[in-house]
Amino acid sequence: MKNTKLISLLLSLLTLASCTQDSTTSSSIIADKAAIVATVAADYSSGAHTVISKDANGDRIATNNLVPTGSDITVAANGTDFYRIERAFAGNNITKFSASDAQTPIWQYSTNDVGSAVLSNPYDMIFVSETKAYVLRNGSSIAWIVNPSATTEAEFKIGELDLSAYADADGVPEMSAGVIVNGKLYITLQRLDNFAVTQLAYVAIFDVNTDLEIDANIPGDTLMGIPLQTRNPGNIIYEPVSNSIFVQGTGSFWPEEFTGGIERIDLANYTTTLTVDDGDAITHPYGLITELAVVSDSVLYFVGYAGYADNTLYKLNLNTAEITPTGVVSLVNGQISSLSVDSQGLLWVSDSANATVRVIDPATDAEVDALYTNLNPEKVVFVK
């Protein structure tokens, strides 16, 4: 998320471990149903990726410091491949890797417009198939439609989505995340006006077959998308049982404004409901809400941000509306950069205070594993 990354970069300028190994010990990392972690140096001087897989005994191991690069990075995954997205301060490109050889790039392509000095700042990559995906470019009003299987850079970009209708005074709508549900692509638009959280945020909807925008038909709204009650959206996650999308909004760090929270979009009619309100300037029990993971139709987790390096993991029971801080001590008043849920329903938490990815069983809210990543972990994705 833009504001979180900005804070980290600005602050940089002004051991607990499971089995680990260094990248130099293996020329080819075999990763069956592995986790891929974007990792960043504590001083933001560099980045790399980590592969977490299981050994012959079924124990998770982390292989760290793979393919060093800049620190402004994230990751995406599709099938057996993963994609390292290098954002504005790390090159504005995407590098493809196979999980069977996580140290050897298959290709690296730029996400900048040819001949333009504008930094595209790629934020996310959402996949339709092996030959079609969307690249969300936070520094542009145009998302790219790309072919992940392209063998040359000239074949990579195959189309565009125009989101300029949502741009504000700074000229871009700040597309930040996306999810595909039943043939529709949902894209969060932060609409930050030179970093100020002054505009309504939206979720735009596109048909993945025609790449045309779908009108949500919100009464009285001139834009086609879904206006959000929360601002500065980051994570957007589909929950199939309730046929809902959950969106996490951060509000504003500077100045501190509690205009975020977690809201649910009912995909049957595009109505929105505030699930968690982050409060106001006087009462804000969790602080800003900076991360979200949806475990099931009854359980979600979120991160409450009381300050830099003062973050707490909370569990929400959607059936009872009860919110409780986690029982994992290191994830209370710590530093948490990302949440992810694997195919087994386990929660993976990036504990940046301890350079560790922690695996939590939501059934017990207990830690079942901890993997030391050397550099601080950020986003975690999963490959087959």
Checking if the pLDDT of 4 tops 60, the result is no
Checking if the pLDDT of 137 tops 50, the result is yes
Sign of CA dihedral 156, 158, 163, 168: positive
pLDDT at 199: 96
Q: What mean pLDDT do residues 269-295 have?
A: 98
What's the alpha-carbon Rg for the chain, to the nearest Å? Answer: 20
Angle at 274 between CA 268 and CA 277, to 5 degrees: 165
Q: pLDDT confidence of 33, banded at 50, 70, 90?
A: confident
Q: What mean pLDDT do residues 286-315 have?
A: 97
3-state SS, residue 10: helix
Given a contact cutoff of 8 angstroms between Cβ atoms, the answer to whether 104 and 96 are in contact is no
- Over residues 249-267, the pLDDT tens digits come to 999 999 999 999 999 999 9
pLDDT at 21: 54
pLDDT at 22: 52
Query: Percentage of residues in the chain with pLDDT exceeding 70?
Result: 92
Averaged pLDDT of the chain: 92
Q: pLDDT confidence of 65, banded at 50, 70, 90?
A: very high
Checking if the pLDDT of 24 tops 80, the result is no
| Interatomic CA distance for residues 159 and 139, integer angstroms | 17
Q: pLDDT confidence of 19, banded at 50, 70, 90?
A: very low
CATH number for the domain harbouring residue 61: 2.130.10.10
Q: What mean pLDDT do residues 213-222 have?
A: 97
Checking if the pLDDT of 275 tops 90, the result is yes
Q: pLDDT confidence of 10, banded at 50, 70, 90?
A: very low
More confident residue, 151 or 20: 151
pLDDT at 308: 92
Checking if the pLDDT of 29 tops 70, the result is no
Q: pLDDT confidence of 6, banded at 50, 70, 90?
A: very low
Checking if the pLDDT of 27 tops 50, the result is no
The residue range of the domain holding 46 is 2-382
- Over residues 94-107, the pLDDT tens digits come to 999 999 999 999 99
Q: What mean pLDDT do residues 318-339 have?
A: 97
| Interatomic CA distance for residues 359 and 57, integer angstroms | 18
pTM above 0.85, yes or no: yes
Question: In the chain, what is the greatest distance between 2 CA atoms, to the nearest angstrom?
Answer: 61
Given a contact cutoff of 8 angstroms between Cβ atoms, the answer to whether 344 and 336 are in contact is no
Q: What mean pLDDT do residues 368-380 have?
A: 98
Q: What mean pLDDT do residues 126-139 have?
A: 98
Q: What mean pLDDT do residues 144-149 have?
A: 98
What letters, b where the CB count within 10 A reaches 16 and e where it falls short, cover 83-117?
A: bbbbbbbbbbbbbbbbbeebeeeebebbbbeeeee
CB within 8 A of 254, min separation 6: which ones? 3, 7, 195
How many separate domains does the chain show?
1
